[in-house]
């Protein structure tokens, strides 16, 4: 993503001020030339009336007319929005194209030609315009304007490319502020953007942590995390693919209990639902111990001690676990961390185990 830094800002300000200064000088000089030409065109025929009876080859006549015109030229004021031009001196080069110039050769850029009629003949006089620049105003005004324009540009959002726009829209739809999204996009190149735009774990991380302004590093860590489940018994939360999910106590312990069955490879991780009229007291022992050791609800513990594992309670807690994970991860991402089921051929009842393989399940009894 394009970035803006102080070096680019300073360089841009300098270049812009030079361009604006050049444009200011060009406009000021052009305006001065046009204004002077307009005034001369209006005044020159009247000033030349007396000289029409004489030849311009007569130096005395030329000197007299020249003096009159020069006096008039001193009355002409060159003005503009900014006093870019400090002073402008005008001079008469020649009154007629048939008379040699009275001064040294002047560049074409400083010449002003004025047509006038002498009888039936169209003649042409030429004048010079020599202006001195007002450098303090020229530099100061244009530098100030350049700074203002560059500051406005600096505050404007950097234009987004197609991949950035796609990512921007996706993150904004998840409630993340535009300013924060742009900070994230500035750290990603085009290839990373393309990959992450389609990565569900990245989008999930941004959605879950939008209110806390998740750092890009945290989101990328979640993307790179292993597809594993870390159980934290003391704090009753799980870390799935790097995302922390706090669970209600009782569903948490049932989830951990299924996970322990998978890790210990007891019956290949499968737990058969008890018959509706025959609770399983033997299977309840490990679950009761887990709850007692890590702060389970006493009511749930007493229920297990009194009634054992009941099919209805198992179904209820599996559904609660599913609801919690669907809410935290979304149905598609949560599925591989939930339960798979099959019918037991001998009892015709259903049995369940975690989809997650044993090597991707970790148990941690400490607070974290």
Q: Where are the alpha helices (DSSP H) in 264-310?
A: 281-293, 298-307
Pseudo-torsion of CA 48, 52, 57, 60, nearest 10°? Answer: -60
What angle do the packed helices 135-155 and 6-47 form, to 10 degrees? 140
Q: Within a 13 Å sphere around the CA of 14, how many CA atoms are in the beta-carbon half?
A: 6
Q: Is 332 exposed, middle or buried (0-12, 13-18, 19+ CB in 10 A)?
A: exposed
Q: For residue 169, give Cα distances in angstroms to 182, 192, 206, 218, 342.
A: 11, 16, 12, 20, 42
Read off the pTM.
Answer: 0.59
317: Cβ–Cβ under 8 A, 6 or more apart, which residues? 250, 251, 254, 255
Provide the residue count of the chain: 368
- Per-residue pLDDT tens listing for the chain (368 residues): 445 567 777 888 888 888 888 888 888 778 777 877 787 777 776 666 555 555 555 556 656 666 766 666 665 555 555 577 777 777 777 777 766 665 567 777 778 888 877 667 787 888 888 887 887 877 888 888 888 887 777 776 667 777 778 777 877 776 777 777 777 777 777 677 777 778 889 888 877 665 555 677 888 889 999 999 999 999 999 999 999 999 999 999 999 999 999 999 989 999 999 998 899 998 899 999 999 999 999 999 999 999 999 999 999 999 999 999 999 999 999 999 999 999 998 888 999 999 999 999 999 866 44
Beta bridge partners of 116: 123
User: How many angstroms separate the CA atoms of 352 and 273, rounded?
Assistant: 8
3-state secondary structure of 140: helix
pLDDT of 217 reads 81
> Residues 113, 124: contact at Cβ < 8 Å?
yes
Q: Within a 13 Å sphere around the CA of 16, how many CA atoms are in the beta-carbon half?
A: 18
User: How many angstroms separate the CA atoms of 170 and 69, rounded?
Assistant: 74
80: Cβ–Cβ under 8 A, 6 or more apart, which residues? 27, 28, 31
Beta bridge partners of 130: 89
> Residues 301, 307: contact at Cβ < 8 Å?
no
């Amino acid at each position: 993503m394009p970035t803006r830094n102080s070096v680019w800002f300073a360089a841009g300000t300098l270049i812009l001020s030079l361009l604006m200064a050049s444009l200011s000088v060009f406009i000021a000089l052009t305006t001065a030339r046009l204004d002077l030409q307009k005034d001369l065109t209006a005044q020159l025929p009247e000033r030349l009336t007396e000289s029409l009876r004489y030849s311009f080859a007569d130096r005395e006549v030329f000197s007299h007319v020249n003096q009159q015109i020069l006096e008039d030229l001193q009355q002409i004021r060159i003005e503009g929005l900014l006093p870019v031009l400090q002073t402008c001196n005008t001079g008469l080069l020649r009154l007629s194209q048939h008379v040699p110039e009275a001064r040294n050769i002047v560049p074409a850029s400083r010449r002003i030609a004025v047509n006038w009629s002498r009888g039936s003949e169209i003649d042409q006089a030429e004048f010079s315009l020599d202006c001195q620049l007002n450098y303090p105003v020229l530099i100061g005004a244009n530098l100030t304007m350049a700074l203002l324009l560059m500051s406005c540009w600096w505050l404007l959002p950097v234009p987004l490319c197609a991949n950035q726009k796609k990512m921007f829209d996706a993150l904004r739809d998840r409630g993340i502020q535009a300013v924060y999204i742009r900070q994230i996009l500035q750290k990603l190149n085009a290839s990373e953007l393309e990959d992450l735009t389609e990565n569900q774990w990245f989008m999930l991380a941004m959605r879950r942590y939008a209110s806390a302004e998740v750092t890009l590093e945290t989101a990328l860590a979640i993307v790179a995390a292993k597809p594993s489940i870390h159980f934290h018994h003391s704090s009753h939360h799980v870390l799935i693919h790097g995302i922390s999910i706090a669970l209600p106590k009782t569903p948490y312990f049932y989830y951990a209990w299924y996970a322990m069955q998978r890790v210990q490879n007891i019956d290949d991780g499968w737990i058969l639902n008890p018959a509706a009229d025959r609770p399983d007291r033997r299977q309840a022992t490990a679950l009761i111990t887990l709850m007692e050791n890590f702060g389970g609800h006493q009511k749930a513990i007493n229920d297990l001690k009194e009634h054992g594992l009941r099919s209805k309670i198992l179904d209820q807690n599996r559904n609660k676990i599913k609801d919690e994970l669907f809410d935290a991860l979304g149905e598609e991402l949560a599925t591989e961390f939930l339960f798979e089921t099959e019918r037991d051929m001998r009892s015709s009842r259903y049995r369940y185990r975690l989809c997650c393989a044993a090597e991707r399940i970790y148990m941690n009894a400490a607070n974290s």
